A and B are shown apart, each in its own frame.
Chain A
Amino acid sequence: MNSKQVHRFVVSYLESKECHFIEKSPVGVTVKLSPDADRALSNRPYYWSFVDRTGSPPETMTYRWSFENPAMSDRMNASNVSYVLTESGRIIQEDVYFGSRRLHQLFGVVQQSGRCVTLFEEPPRGRLDPFASQPYTAWLGVNFKVGYECDMKREELYLWGVSLATGIIEERFMDKLKDRRLTPRLPANVHLLKNGLSLRKGMAQLEAALERRLRTADFSWAVEAEARRQDELERIRQYYDPMLEHMNHPDQMEQKEAVTARFKQREAEIDWQYKPRVSVSVLNCGIFHLPGLD
Chain B
Amino acid sequence: MNTSIPPDNAPRKLHPLVDMHVDRSAFEDLERRTERNGPWDDWALYQLALEAEEANLVTDFHALRCLSLLPHFEPMPHQIDTARRVLHEMRGRAILADEVGLGKTIEAGLILKEYMIRGLVTKVLVLVPASLVLQWVRELNGKFDIPAVAQRKSYSWDNDIVVASMDTAKRDPHRQTLLDGEYDLIIVDEAHKLKNKRTGNYQFINELRKKYCLLLTATPVQNDLNELYNLITLLKPGQLGGEGDFAANFVAERRVPKNESKLQETLGQVMIRNRRSSGGVEFTKRLVTNVPLQLSAEEMALYEGVTDYVRKHAASENGDMASMLSLVTLQREVCSSRDAVFLTLINLFKKTTEDSPLRARIWELVELIKRIKANTKAEKTMELVRSLDDKAIIFTEYRATQEYLLKFFQEHNLAAVPYRGGMNRGKKDWMMELFRKRAQVMVATEAGGEGINLQFCHHVINFDLPWNPMRVEQRIGRVHRLGQTEDVQIFNLCTLGTIEEHIVHLLHEKINMFELVIGELDEIIQQFEKEDTLERRLAQLVLETADGEELRQKIDGLGDTLLQTKKRMQLENAT
Are both chains from one complex?
yes
Q: Which residues of A contact B (CB under 8 A)?
A: 1, 5, 9, 12-13, 15-16, 69-79, 95, 97-101, 104, 106-107, 110-111, 113-119, 142-143, 145, 147-149, 151-157, 159, 174, 182, 184, 199-201, 203-205, 207-208, 211, 214-215, 217, 219, 221-223, 226, 228, 232, 235-240, 242-243, 262, 265-266, 268-269, 272-274, 276-287
Q: Is the CB of A265 within 8 A of B1?
A: no
Interface string of B3-21 (1 = CB under 8 A from A): 1110000001011011111
Q: Closest CB of chain B to A134's CB: distance in Å?
A: 20
Do B12 and A75 touch (CB < 8 A)?
A: no
Q: Is B237's beta carbon under 8 Å from chain A? A: yes
B-side binding surface: helix, strand, loop or mixed? mixed
Separation in Å of the A286 CB from the closest CB of chain B?
A: 7
Contact residues in B for A281 (Cβ distance below 8 Å):
22-24, 26
Q: What are 10 A-B pairs with beta-carbon distances under 8 A?
A: A16-B42, A73-B456, A113-B49, A115-B41, A200-B31, A203-B24, A211-B14, A280-B20, A281-B23, A287-B30
Which residue from chain A places its CB closest to the CB of B49 in the assembled complex?
A: A114
Q: Is the CB of B141 within 8 A of A79?
A: yes
Which one, A13, A211, A240, contacts B45 given CB within 8 A?
A: A13
CA distance A221 to B62 in the complex (A): 12
> Which A-B residue pairs are the 9 nearest by beta carbons?
A99-B69, A114-B45, A239-B238, A114-B49, A107-B52, A281-B23, A69-B71, A235-B238, A114-B46
Q: A-facing mask of B21-58, CB < 8 A → 1, else 0?
A: 11111110111011000101111111111111111111
| B72 CB–A CB distance under 8 Å | yes
Answer yes or no: B537 CB below 8 A from chain A CBs: no
Among B204-212, B341-349, B500-508, the one that faces the other chain is: B204-212
Contact between A152 and B53 (Cβ–Cβ < 8 Å)?
A: no
Across-interface contacts of A201 in B (CB, < 8 A): 3-4
* In contact, A279 and B242 (Cβ under 8 angstroms): no
Residue among A16, A72, A153, A272 making CB contact with B44, cutoff 8 Å = A16
Q: Is the CB of A215 within 8 A of B1?
A: no
Once the chains bind, are A199 and B31 in contact (CB under 8 Å)?
yes
Q: Are B17 and A219 in contact (CB under 8 A)?
A: yes
Contacts of A284 in B (CB 8 A): 26, 41, 46, 49-50
| With A100-B145, A235-B236 as contacts: A76 and B54 at CB distance below 8 Å | no
CB distance from B429 to the nearest CB of A (A): 5
- B556 nearest CB across to chain A (Å): 41
Q: A75-B142, A116-B40 are in contact. Are A283 and B53 (CB under 8 A)?
A: yes
Chain A proximity of B171: nearest CB distance (Å): 21
Contact A282–B18 (Cβ < 8 Å): no
Residue from A5, A70, A107, A226 in contact with B72 in the complex, judged by beta carbons closer than 8 Å: A70
Q: When chains A and B are docked, how far (Å) is the Cα of A73 from the Cα of B17?
A: 49
B27, B50, B54, B119 — which one has the most chain A CB atoms within 10 A of its CB?
B27
Report A154 CB to chain B, min CB distance, Å. 5
Residues of B within 8 A of A104 (CB): 145
C-alpha gap A281/B25 in the complex (Å): 8
Known: A155-B58, A282-B26, A284-B26. A111 touches B18 (CB 8 A): no
In Å, the complex CA distance between A184 and B105 comes to 51
B276 within 8 A of partner (CB): no
Nearest chain-A residue to B182 (Cβ)? A272
Complex interface bits, B363-401 against A, C-beta within 8 A gives 1, otherwise 0: 000000000000000000000000000000000000000
A115 near B49: Cβ-Cβ < 8 Å: yes
Taking the closest CB of chain A, its distance from the CB of B135, in whole angstroms, is 9
Within the assembled complex, what's the spacing in Å between the Cα atoms of A273 and B141? 26
User: B451 in the interface, Cβ–Cβ < 8 Å?
Assistant: yes
Residue in B3, B21, B242, B429 whose beta carbon sits within 8 Å of that of A280 in the complex:
B21
In the complex, what residues of B have CB within 8 A of residue A276's CB? 17-18
Q: Which of B14, B40, B44, B239 contacts A215 (CB 8 A)?
A: B14
B436: Cβ under 8 A from any A Cβ: yes
Known: A77-B138, A155-B58, A238-B238. A219 touches B18 (CB 8 A): yes
Closest to B21 in A: A279
A222 touches B15 (CB 8 A): yes
Question: How many residue-residue contacts, CB under 8 A, span A and B?
Answer: 268
Q: Is residue B92 contacting chain A, with contact meaning CB distance below 8 A? A: yes
Task: Say which size band chain B's interface belongs to.
Answer: 35 or more
Pick from B45, B237, B429: contact of A77, CB below 8 A: B429
- The answer for the CA separation of A277 and B17 in the assembled complex, in Å, is 8
A269 vs B93: C-alpha distance in the bound complex, in angstroms? Answer: 12
Rounded to whole angstroms, the CA-CA distance of A115 and B27 in the bound complex is: 9
CA A282 to CA B111, docked complex, whole Å:
28
A110 to B120, CA, bound (A): 22
On chain A, the residues within 8 Å of B147 by CB distance are 101
A101's closest neighbor in chain B, by CB? B145
Having A114-B41, A281-B22, one finds 17 other A-B pairs with CB under 8 Å, namely A16-B44, A16-B48, A72-B73, A77-B451, A113-B45, A115-B49, A118-B38, A142-B27, A184-B43, A204-B3, A222-B18, A223-B17, A236-B238, A239-B241, A279-B23, A280-B23, A282-B27
Cβ-defined contact, A111 with B209, below 8 A: no
Contact partner of B5 (CB less than 8 A), chosen from A115, A153, A203, A274, is A203
CA A109 to CA B206, docked complex, whole Å: 39
Is there contact, CB below 8 Å, between B21 and A278? yes
Interface residues of B in 184-228 (CB under 8 A from A): 206-207, 209-212
B1, B20, B52: the one within 8 Å of A214 (CB): B20
CB <8 Å contact, B241 and A238 = yes
CB of B14 to closest CB in A, whole Å: 6
**B360 near A: Cβ within 8 Å?**
no
* Chain B neighbourhood of A217, CB < 8 A: 14
Smallest CB gap from A71: residue in B: B72
Considering only CB atoms, which chain B residue lies closest to A74 in the complex?
B72
A68 to chain B, nearest CB (A): 9
Contacts of B436 in A (CB 8 A): 76
Cα separation A256 to B118 with both chains bound (whole Å): 39
Please indicate the chain B residues that have their CB under 8 angstroms from the CB of A107 in the complex. Answer: 52, 55-56
Cα–Cα, bound, A266→B236 (Å) = 9
- Inter-chain contact B4/A204, CB cutoff 8 Å: yes
Q: Are A239 and B242 in contact (CB under 8 A)?
A: yes
Least CB separation from A1: chain B residue: B55
With A70-B71, A114-B45, A278-B21: A143-B30 Cβ-Cβ less than 8 Å: no
Residue of A at shortest CB range from B68? A98
| Smallest CB separation, A201 vs chain B (Å) | 7
B318 part of interface (Cβ distance < 8 Å): no
Q: Are B138 and A208 in contact (CB under 8 A)?
A: no
With CB as the reference atom, state the residue of chain B lying closest to A282.
B26
Q: Is B433 an interface residue (CB 8 A)?
A: yes
Distance in angstroms between the alpha carbons of A242 and B233 in the assembled complex: 15
A residues within 8 A CB of B60? 154
Asked if B74 is at the interface (CB within 8 A of a chain A CB), the reply is yes
Which B residues are CB-close (under 8 A) to A78? 142, 429, 432-433
CB distance from B500 to the nearest CB of A (A): 33
